Chains A and B, each alone.
Chain A
Amino acid sequence: MTAGRAWVFGDDIDTDIITPGRYNLGTNPDDLKKACFIEHRPDFAKTVRPGDYIVAGRSFGIGSSRESAALSPKLLGVRAILARSFGRIYFRNCVNLGIPPLQGDTSRIRDGDELEVDVATGLVRNVTRAEEYPFRPLGGFVQAVLAEGGLAPYVRKHRRLAP
């Protein structure tokens, strides 16, 4: 398992912060990538690398149902999102797009730490600090969707929803 960099955000990062509504995003992947944290953290979209992790506090992704807020990190290659808690629709959008949303105590993770994440067990290893944190394991159906890479490939393969 290769490690990825932690990009640490605080509490209450709503969907208007992740992809502001007024950019009227369509479906163009380049537009979606550029918009990610465009005002809150302009360096993010330019320097995040595939395999990195978003790490946040409480209520990550509260607000709008807009899928751009989960799709833009996905397109940038974010491997998983770790947060103390998630907005309901955002959590679901992450699963549907194949980005594991893992819930747990993120308080010891600092920006730039190198992490290894085992999605199946929820175990997060902080390589930089030589620490391990148990995150809440995801349920069976959610794991099955993530294993296919998201709900679109899952439905493409199974042609039905089978929890």
Chain B
Amino acid sequence: MPFASRILGAEPGEIVVRPVDLVYAHDATAPLAIKAFREMGFDRVFDPSKVLFFFDHVYPAPTPKAAELHREVREFAAEQGIRVVEGQGISHQLLAESDVVRPGQVVVGGDSHTVTLGARGVLAMGMGSTDIAVAMGLGETWLTVPESLRIELRGRFAPAVVAKDLALAVCGTLGVEGGNFKSVEYVGEAHRLNLADRLTLCNLGAEVGAKNAVVTDEPGPGAEFTFDLSALEPQLAVHPRVDTVKPVSDVEGLEVDQVYLGTCTNGRIEDMRQFDAILAGRPVATRTLCTPASATVMRQMADEGILSRFVAAGVTIQSPGCGACLGRHHGVLGDGEVCVATGSRNFVGRMGSPKAEIYLSSPYTAAAAAVTGKVTDPRRLLARPKEVPA
């Protein structure tokens, strides 16, 4: 039985009500969820140990208004006995690192990238604030059991080609609605992927509309799409659509004003190591910002010497969280600026000015842009590792 049907115990298309094992929201979605919770007439959350709030989107507060929203959430959390995790990083990453989530659970989060946690075998679904309020109050949610959409992976990645390139290729092939309302399931050689790669793949499930995403070897329907990893080149999602995806080699030479390394898509230690491998002691040639996805990632960067190498190269290091991805702080783009970012969205105005352009890439490709100041195929730079000092 396919993943979602097994966990929900029902056939695709059926509407079911199921208990949730965890419900969470962040500083941008919790305020409306709290308001809806009160409007529904609830006094207490169903189980404070199964509700979590994270401050990651606009933290530390850049405006008095943001500070006020944080205060409101803290007060509600204190009243209800809910834990607030402040400034430790992005909700999805912190949960992925923790043992709070376990395979087979049903988890709802007030953020579209909740699907990321499918990498841990969780049926994890992003929802709006009203759904989060219902889950906080009743401890359950309603949903239509999704149909499976299976994507089979074959072969191994070539050098400098990583899960993000695959995830972008999937977006380009499926389109922004290609997985709408579906359970997107990676099968075949997907079982070889490490947790970081799985998190990145499941994360971009949100960009094809997936209700949930997972890497699985359970039996299920045949694969609708097959990707040969060995034939894949570094990919770039061209502004302003995540499904306009081209090989990096087709866009080489485009001048870049800002490079952004971070987000729930690519802010993990593995991403930092890839970026570091391309830097290889060279300074950055353009404005380069790095937001580790969690405090743990930042500590690992320090332990491995990556942090000091980034600083020496001229990279601006920011506090763990969602950073510049959503255009509120930590590196907002101006009119006409071009940004290569490792995030998941390149919508008009996403990272600041509606006249800025965002290109989404892997950490390797982002690093190649940082070093050269232009869109550059990272394979050019990885191919000559001995020319640069260690």
Contacts and interface: CB of A to CB of B under 8 A. Distances in A.
Contacts of B347: 14, 16-17, 63
B140 A88 contact: no
A87 B209 contact: yes
A120 interface: no
10 contacts: A16-B347, A16-B348, A17-B348, A21-B28, A63-B345, A66-B128, A89-B127, A92-B127, A161-B134, A161-B142
Given A59-B177, A96-B130, A155 B40 contact: yes
B337 to A, nearest CB: 15
Interface of A: 12, 14, 16-17, 20-22, 24, 26-27, 39, 58-59, 62-68, 70-71, 85, 87-89, 92-93, 96-97, 139, 141, 150-152, 155-156, 160-163
Interface string B345-369: 1011110101000000000000000
A71 B128 CA distance: 11
B40 A63 contact: no
Contacts of B230: none
Interface stretch (B31-39, B286-294, B300-308): B31-39
B176 A12 contact: yes
A14 B348 CA distance: 9
A55 B379 CA distance: 46
Interface in B116-170: 126-131, 133-134, 137-138, 140-142
A35 B19 CA distance: 35
Nearest to A98: B130
Contacts, number: 126
A3 to B, nearest CB: 29
A156 B40 contact: yes
A27 B72 CA distance: 11
A141 B133 CA distance: 18
A162 B68 CA distance: 36
B91 to A, nearest CB: 12
B50 interface: no
B128 A87 contact: no
A89 B177 contact: no
A22 B57 CA distance: 10
Given A20-B349, A160-B138, A163-B17, A59 B176 contact: yes
Interface in B292-346: 326-328, 332, 345
Contacts of A63: 112, 345, 347
Contact of B112 (A24, A39, A65): A65
A93 to B, nearest CB: 4
Contact of A89 (B69, B126, B332): B126
A85 B128 contact: no
Contact of B17 (A17, A62, A139, A161): A161
Contacts of A151: 130-131, 134
B362 to A, nearest CB: 21
B114 to A, nearest CB: 8
Contacts of B177: 58-59, 62, 85, 87
Nearest to A85: B177
A79 B127 CA distance: 22
Contacts of B127: 65, 89, 92
